[in-house]
């Protein structure tokens, strides 16, 4: 009886869920039928007559072809290298910035700094890519400043040694301010009496940060750090697609951009699907591992 009452009471809420469920089914689950292309020798002519299952099945031949491509090890390494740097830097930088903002006594100054650092996050990489390209060009603002210091100019957009680190730096510029929000929220949850006790014990600001602030933030740091493992193969397609060029393919080409050229520009849809499925499987494993670690070390559970 109580169950019927609950269903009747929550029925409007279930109706509100229907549009969202329909969108997920249509745009997220139905297209997954196309994953069958990864195991076929896809023929677009036969697809137009028989659908997904008209092309001949070749088993794991597409995956063997992908793993045997001479460029694939380099692309995989670039993806892991850039993504790992972004994960590490994207975890440390917001923490440091949140700690610095927490020390600003003037509320009006704190709000101005927050607003200025948040702004890049709300701009697309198309817009930021043009700005970054102008600033880091051979005759751009940065190289003009280096010339003023009598230093050699740096070819940021065409030097394979510099390009990956430029990607990480510009990604931090875009995301650090916004990612700081959650750490500032964690700071507000720390009991003020702990700081009062630390002052009585003679702790200065650095000691308070080391022994009160950081331990108070540690659960959220561990949680976000472990959950970020799921992005180990997400090096940022939009950013790299806007900023890279054939000169820096050696250090800047990642799985997503490689798949774009092979699958879409090269019209090898079966190979592109195999690459995408490989990435999804690795991401699924890493997400599962990250949630297991988050549950163990941060007591975080979805269900």
Q: Are residues 235 and 133 in the same domain?
A: yes
Residue 303 has pLDDT above 60, yes or no: no
pLDDT at 39 over 70: yes
65 assigned to some structural domain: no
pLDDT of residue 9: 78
Q: At 226, which CATH number?
A: 1.10.3720.10
pLDDT at 167: 92
Which residues, 6 or more positions from 164, have their beta carbon under 8 angstroms from its beta carbon? 78, 81, 82, 85, 251, 252
Among residues 20, 40, 59, the one where a domain terminates is 59
pLDDT of residue 105: 80
Determine the pLDDT at residue 301: 67
Which domain, by its residues, includes 34? 1-59
Q: Distance from CA of residue 21 to its chain's centroid?
A: 25
- Residue 260: which pLDDT band, with cuts at 50, 70 and 90? very high
- Whether 46 is in a domain gets the answer yes
Q: Do 199 and 256 have their domain in common?
A: yes
Taking each helix axis from N to C end, the angle separating 214-227 and 72-102, rounded to the nearest 10 degrees, works out to 160
Co-location of 262 and 118 in the same domain: yes
Judgement on whether residues 2 and 74 belong to the same structural domain of the protein: no
**pLDDT, tens digit, 9 for 90 and up, residues 182-202:** 888 888 888 888 888 888 888
Q: Is residue 88 part of a domain?
A: yes
**C-beta separation of 98 from 187 below 8 A:** yes
Whether 211 is covered by a domain: the verdict is yes
* Count of the separate structural domains present in the chain: 2
Q: Are residues 264 and 292 in the same domain?
A: yes
As a whole number, the mean pLDDT across the chain is: 86
Say if residue 86's pLDDT is above 90: yes
Note the pLDDT of residue 64: 92
């Amino acid at each position: 009886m109580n169950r019927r009452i609950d269903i009747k009471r929550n029925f409007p809420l279930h109706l509100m869920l229907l549009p969202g469920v329909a969108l997920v089914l249509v745009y997220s689950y139905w297209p997954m039928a196309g994953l069958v292309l990864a195991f076929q020798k896809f023929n677009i002519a036969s697809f137009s007559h028989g659908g997904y299952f008209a092309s001949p099945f070749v088993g794991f031949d597409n995956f063997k072809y992908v793993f045997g491509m001479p460029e694939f090890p380099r692309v995989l390494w670039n993806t892991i290298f850039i993504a790992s740097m972004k994960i590490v830097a994207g975890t440390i930088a917001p923490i440091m910035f949140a700690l610095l903002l927490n020390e600003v006594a003037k509320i009006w100054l704190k709000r101005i700094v927050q607003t200025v650092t948040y702004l890049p996050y709300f701009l697309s990489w198309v817009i930021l890519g043009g700005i970054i390209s102008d600033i880091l060009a051979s005759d751009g603002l940065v190289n003009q400043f280096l010339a003023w210091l009598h230093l050699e100019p740096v070819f940021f957009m065409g030097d394979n040694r510099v390009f990956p680190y430029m990607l990480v730096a510009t990604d931090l510029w875009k995301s650090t301010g916004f990612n700081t929000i959650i750490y500032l929220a964690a700071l507000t949850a720390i009991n003020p009496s702990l700081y009062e006790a630390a002052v009585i014990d003679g702790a200065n600001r650095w000691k308070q940060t080391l022994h009160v602030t950081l331990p108070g933030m540690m659960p959220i740091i561990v949680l976000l750090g472990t959950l970020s493992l799921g992005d180990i193969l997400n090096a940022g397609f939009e950013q790299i697609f806007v900023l890279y060029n054939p000169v820096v393919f050696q250090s800047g080409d990642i799985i997503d951009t490689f798949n774009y050229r092979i699958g879409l520009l090269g019209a090898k849809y079966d190979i592109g699907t195999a690459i995408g499925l490989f990435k999804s499987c690795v991401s699924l494993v890493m997400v599962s591992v990250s949630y297991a670690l988050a549950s163990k070390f941060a007591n975080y559970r979805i269900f």
